[in-house]
Structure 1
Amino acid sequence: MRNFIQAGNTVVVPAPYALTSGQGAKVGQLFGVATNDAALSADVALDLTGVFELTKIGSQAWTVGALVYWDDTNKRCTTVATANLLIGVAAAAVAGGAGNTTGRVRLNASFRANDP
């Protein structure tokens, strides 16, 4: 097929802000995890699929399969849909203590606006 470009599991985009490898990033309605460090506007490869350990709100408990959203203002994951981008589901349960600030997220590789 002559018009095939790539599988699309990883895409290269201009970094929306300075990124460290492993950090989540939102570019428009596209979300991925940086595979390399990048300065603002520099090319960064984002993984769009897979399970990643990402920063989350510490006081929020997660259950396996709970919808996970990206809070781009605070650069962290949340289960709160309002004003946030749906990025996937929780791949492991996480307690809701203040020190529980990371969670495993199975990215959905979609780029859609917030849930209704």
Structure 2
Amino acid sequence: MKNYVQPGDMITVIATAAVASGDLVRSGSILGVAATDAAIGEEVELKTTGVFDLAKTSAQAWTVGAPIYAIAASSLLTNVPGTGNYLVGVAMAAAANPSATGRVRLNGTLGLAVTA
């Protein structure tokens, strides 16, 4: 295949805010976890697929296989499809209420925003 470029599970983007390794980062419709730290304007590699322990809304209990959404205003993850939340993956482990993190398999891109 002469037109093959790369697997696409690691994508380079320009940081629009300071990023720490392990942060969930959105760049347009691309979503991934930062492989390294980056300052504003620097390149950062994002791992767009895989299973990660990520910051979640503490006061929620998650079940395995539940759809998981990103809250645009806070970058926390939630299992509630509220208006403006974007589908980002599925829960891969149960998460207690309260808990600070949840295990998520990322889709690699943002789903459409929930509108109602």
Distance 1:72 1:20 in 2: 18
Q: Residue in 1 aligned with 2:112?
A: 113
Task: Answer yes or no: is the 8 Å Cα contact 2:72–2:84 preserved in 1.
Answer: no
Task: Answer yes or no: is the 8 Å Cα contact 2:35–2:47 preserved in 1.
Answer: yes
Please tell me the root mean square deviation across aligned C-alpha atoms, in Å.
1.4
Structure 2 unmatched runs, 5+: none
Query: What's the CA shift string for 1:34-61, capped at 9, x where partnerless?
Result: 0000111210100011100000010011
Q: Which residues in structure 2 correspond to 1:72-91 (within 5 Å)?
A: 72-81=72-81, 82-91=83-92
Query: What's the CA shift string for 1:77-109, capped at 9, x where partnerless?
Result: 111222122110000001112xx0100001112
Structure 1 letter corresponding to 2:111: R
Distance 2:3 2:46 in 1: 22
Q: Residue in 2 aligned with 1:7?
A: 7
Q: Which residues in structure 2 correspond to 1:18-29 (within 5 Å)?
A: 18-29=18-29
Task: Answer yes or no: is the 8 Å Cα contact 1:29–1:85 preserved in 2.
Answer: no
Extract structure 1 runs of 4+ deviating beyond 2 A. 109-112
Distance 2:106 2:40 in 1: 23
Q: Residue in 2 aligned with 1:36?
A: 36
Distance 2:102 2:22 in 1: 13
Distance 1:112 1:79 in 2: 14
1:70, distance to aligned residue in structure 2 (A): 1.3
Structure 1 letter corresponding to 2:3: N
Distance 2:109 2:25 in 1: 13
Structure 2 letter corresponding to 1:55: A
Structure 1 unmatched runs, 5+: none
